[in-house]
Amino acid sequence: MIEVKDVTKVYKTKNGELTAVDHVSLSIQKGEIFGIIGYSGAGKSTLIRLLNGLEKPTSGSVVVNDLEISSIKGKELRKARQKISMIFQHFNLLWSRTVAENIAFPLEIAGVPKAEREKRVKELIELVGLKGREDAYPSQLSGGQKQRVGIARALANNPEVLLCDEATSALDPETTDSILSLLSDINERLGLTIVLITHEMHVIRKICHRVAVMQAGRIVEQGSVLEVFRNPQAEITKNFVMQVSDSREAKEAIKHILKNYPAGKVVKLTFVGNTSGQPVISYLIKEFQINVNILYGNISETMDGPYGTLIVQLDGDPENVEKAMEKLKTMNIQAEVITK
């Protein structure tokens, strides 16, 4: 569906050249939700603008649905953009238009007859859960409702790709979850390919199938969300995963146990997929006659299955503790000893 091949984007500034995207290659499959995560300045927004032709690469190519977006222009590019829609962090609604009129706007530009426009707008209002708010103005809507209008407007021309530029960053956590659930539902019902950029790992965990991590214009890591959670390689990826899997309470518990209970080992167990349902603790206690003190536990759902962490203290005969650690490896459970 989307092929980004060795793309570089260089801007010329008064202070010299600035490389925003540096030799990036990506392959995004039809019908998947693909996340691109990175901190401010990583090049995410530039990359997403390259996908819809708002920016042209300095080198490399961008192909969307067999059409090389990076080389077309004029009428051909405008036609291609009708199949590549975008939603934004700050909604970008027309404040003098009602909900229905905002959604109808791209259909007006495309020359769709009035009766057909009205029918389509009604369908989209139902789809995004805004029935009864058709005649409201943006100033009368909550942040979540504004983003629902933005999503409906983006879907008006039946796009094949939906680009989401920090679409939930301006929303509170509860509203963020509702918008992410809506996007996931749209992906399933319409088979729409969604490319989502964010700086929040919670967003990636919630709805993405695969993820690419950006830093300083480059892709430093990519893969399935579950695999990236299970075995992050780059330091920045580890920091993002920590946002979701490790809490302040967990860190405080570890600090306390290391200080007050120096005996035994403090171990972080990582469970992926089916392993998250195994009765590990009771098995270790019975099989190896060791004490297992649970310090902290957390399970997060990803699109490909659960990912869980459990921080425990293993205490008892040192030989039995080592045997227990070895057994964990055979159960496909990652065990990492935590030290002071």
Q: What is the distance between the alpha carbons of residues 233 and 61, in angstroms, rounded to a whole number? A: 27
Is residue 262 very low, low, confident or very high in pLDDT (cuts 50, 70, 90)?
low
Residue 238 shares a structural domain with residue 250: no
User: What is the predicted pLDDT for the residue at 142?
Assistant: 94
Asked whether residue 232 falls in the same domain as residue 326, the answer is no
Higher pLDDT, 238 or 309: 238
* Statement: residue 209 has pLDDT above 70: yes
Are 121 and 100 part of one and the same domain? yes
Boundary of a domain, candidates 243, 271, 286: 243
pLDDT mean over 208-219? 95
Same domain, 233 and 299: no
Among candidate residues 183, 182, 177, the one with its CA nearest the CA of residue 200: 177
Q: Mark whether 194 and 315 lie in a shared domain.
A: no
Residues 8 and 155 in one domain: yes
Query: In terms of DSSP bridges, do strands 305-315 and 265-272 run parallel, antiparallel, or are they unpaired?
Result: antiparallel
Q: What is the pLDDT of residues 10-30, one digit of tens each?
A: 999 888 999 999 999 999 999
What pairs with residue 222 in β-bridges?
Answer: 212
- Strand ranges in the chain using DSSP code E only, listed in sequence order: 2-13, 16-28, 33-37, 59-64, 67-68, 84-88, 161-165, 193-198, 210-215, 218-224, 265-272, 291-302, 305-315, 334-338
Domain boundary among 221, 243, 265: 243
* Rounded (10°) angle between helices 173-190 and 143-155: 20
Instruction: For residue 198, give the 3-state DSSP assignment.
Output: strand
Q: Write the CATH number for 211.
A: 3.40.50.300
Q: Are residues 228 and 277 in the same domain?
A: no
The answer on 230 and 313 residing in a single domain is no
Same domain, 142 and 72: yes
- The count of domains in the chain is 2
SS3 (DSSP) at 161: strand
What does the DSSP assignment read for 37-74? E--TTSSHHHHHHHHTTSS--SEEEEEETTEETTT--H
Residues 214 and 322 both lie in one domain: no
Please, which pLDDT band fits residue 300 given cuts at 50, 70 and 90?
A: confident
- Assign residue 333 the CATH number of its domain: 3.30.70.260
41 and 130 share one domain: yes
pLDDT number for residue 131: 94
300: domain range? 246-338
pLDDT of residue 289: 92
Of 243, 264, 284, the last residue of a domain is 243
**pLDDT per residue as tens digits for the range 167-200:** 888 888 899 999 999 999 999 999 999 999 999 8
268 and 318 part of one domain:
yes
Which residues lie closer than 8 Å to 103 by C-beta, 6 or more apart?
A: 121, 124, 125, 149, 152, 153, 156
